[in-house]
Homo-oligomer: A and B are copies of this chain.
Amino acid sequence: MATQDNPAQSRSGAQLKTPKGTRDWVGQDLLLRDYIFQTITDVLKRHGGIPLDTPVFELRDILSEKYGEDSRLIYNLEDQGGELCSLRYDLTVPFARWLAMHSNVKQIKRYQIAKVYRHDQPAIARGRYREFYQCDFDIAGIYDPMIPDAEILCIISEVFEAFNLDMTIKLNHRRILDGLFTAAGVPEDKIRPVSSSVDKLDKLPWAEVKQEMVETKSIPDDVADRIGKYVMRNGSLREMIDTLRADESLSDQKDIKVGVDDMELLLSYLEAMGVADKVSFDLSLARGLDYYSGLIFEVIPKASTQVGSIAAGGRYDGLVSMYGKQPVPCVGISFGVDRIFTLLAAQRKKSTSELEHETDVFIMTFGSKESGGYILERMKIARELWAAGIRAEFSAKVKPRVQAQFNASSRARLTVILGQEEMENGQVRLRSALESDKDQKDRGELIPREKVVEEVQKQLSALSVTPE
C-alpha cells in the first residue's frame, strides 16, 4: 500500500528517497484518504462546523511547555535570522493560540484536517510516521451543560454511519474516575499516575496493571484491589448511573455526584438524539492526556480488535487559559484517520497498482493505417465528453497500436471505437468494458457520430444503477 522507497543515488549524489518517517501518497490511496476527509467534513458542516487552517509552523514559544517531556519530539526550524519557529505537533495548540488571538469569538465549532510532525522513532509497519494527519473537531465556548458533549457523540455516530463501520463509543467522566480513586484510598498526588495505569487496561490484563500500581507507583495492595473492583465495571449508561447511585461507599464523593448528574443529563440528550444505544459507560476508560476535565470517550470498531480506537476525545475546560486569556471551555474529538484508512482500505477491491485509475470512456481507433489514426476525431470526441463532465481519455499517439489501446480501455467503463468503415458512414461503435481478450471481437453497438455524448450519458447512468 505504501509507496515503495527506492533509495537509489541520483547523479548529484543525493539519495532518492523521502525523509525518514515520511511517505508519498499517490493515486488510489490518496483518493481514499480524500474520501475519508470529505465524508467527515460533510457531517461537520451539517452541524455548523467552521474550517480553520493554520500555518505548518508556529512561533517556538507558542509550542513550548505544552507537551511535557514530549517537547523533545518537536521539529525545530533552523535559525535563519528572525523568529524562531517549530513545526506544529498537534492541532489543539494552534487552535488554542487562534482562540486566544480572537477573544471576540465567544463560541465556535471549528474543524481542522492537517498534517502534524513528531520527531519520534517511526514504526512504519504499525503505521506510525513522523508526518501524519490529524482530524480535529472542537466545540469551544460557554453552552448549557452537556449539550455540546451530546452533539459530539451524535457527530461520531453520523460519521461512522457514513463509513458503514459498526462501532461502540466508550464513555467515562474524569470526575467520576477521580472520585472512585479517592474513594478507593488513592492520595491526591497519585491520582494521575494511577489513572495512566488504568488507561492500559485495554491492552494489559488487570493483574499486570495492578502489579504496576503496587510496584511502580507504591499503591497499597488493598487500595489497588478496590480500584480493580470499580474500574472493571461497564454497561449501558442507565445501568451504570443506577449502580453508582446505589453504591453507598460512594455517596459522600462530591466529584462522583457531579459526574453522575452530568451523565444523567447526557443520557436524556442522547435518547433525544437516538444515539444512546451506541454508547457504553466503561469505568476503565481513563485517556492519557492530563488536561481532560469532564466527559472522555473513545470509539472502538466492532469488526476489528486489532486496530484499537478509531476516534477519541473529551472535555478540556482549562487548556485555552494557558495563553493568559479568559478560560474557554472546550469539548473535542479527534478522528484517527490513519486507522480509518486501514479499515476502509482492507474493504476495497484489491487493485494491481496504486496508480491504476478509472475513467468513464476510452476512445480508440482501429483505423491507424488507412485513416491516419483519427487523432483529430478522437480529440473532438474527448472534448465533447469533457465538456459534458465525463472522464475521457485517448492514446496520445497519432497512430496508436490496437493492443495498447485495448489494454488502456480495460480501465474504462465504456469504449468508443472509431473504425474506417463506420466513420465513412458517420458512425462510431460504443461498447462496455472489455471483460477479457476474446471480447475484442465484440465491436459494440453502432451509433451515429453526433450522438456520442448522449449515448454515453445514457449508458453510464444505466451502468451506475446496475448492481455490480
The residues of A with any CB-CB pair to B shorter than 8 Å are 3, 5-6, 8-20, 22-27, 30-31, 34, 42-43, 45-48, 50-59, 61-62, 64-65, 75-80, 82-83, 85, 87, 97-98, 100-102, 105, 108, 110, 115, 117, 119, 131, 143-144, 147-148, 150-151, 154, 158, 268-269, 271-275, 321-325, 355, 357, 359, 375-377, 379-380, 382-383, 386-387, 389-393, 396-398
Contact = CB atoms under 8 A, between A and B. Distances in A.
A51 to B, nearest CB: 4
A160 to B, nearest CB: 13
Contacts of A101: 5-6, 8, 16-17
A24 B324 contact: no
A61 B12 contact: yes
Contacts of A53: 24-26, 30
A209 B188 CA distance: 77
13 contacts: A5-B101, A6-B101, A10-B325, A14-B59, A16-B323, A18-B58, A34-B51, A48-B393, A75-B80, A143-B396, A144-B375, A144-B398, A154-B383
Main secondary structure, interface of A, reads mixed
Given A48-B359, A383-B273, A147 B16 contact: no
Contacts of A65: 12
A9 B50 CA distance: 26
A376 B268 contact: yes
B8 A56 contact: no
B80 A12 contact: no
B397 A144 contact: yes
Nearest to A9: B324
Contacts of A119: 80
Contacts of A13: 61
Contact of A48 (B83, B274, B357, B389): B357
A273 B380 contact: yes
B324 A386 contact: no
Contacts of A272: 375-377, 379-380, 383
Given A100-B10, A147-B396, A323-B10, A115 B24 contact: no
Contact of A46 (B61, B76, B379, B392): B392
Among A26, A85, A143, A154, find the residue whose CB has the most chain B CB atoms closer than 10 A. Answer: A26
- The 5 tightest CB contacts between A and B, nearest first, are A11-B324, A14-B61, A22-B55, A143-B396, A10-B323
Contacts of A268: 376
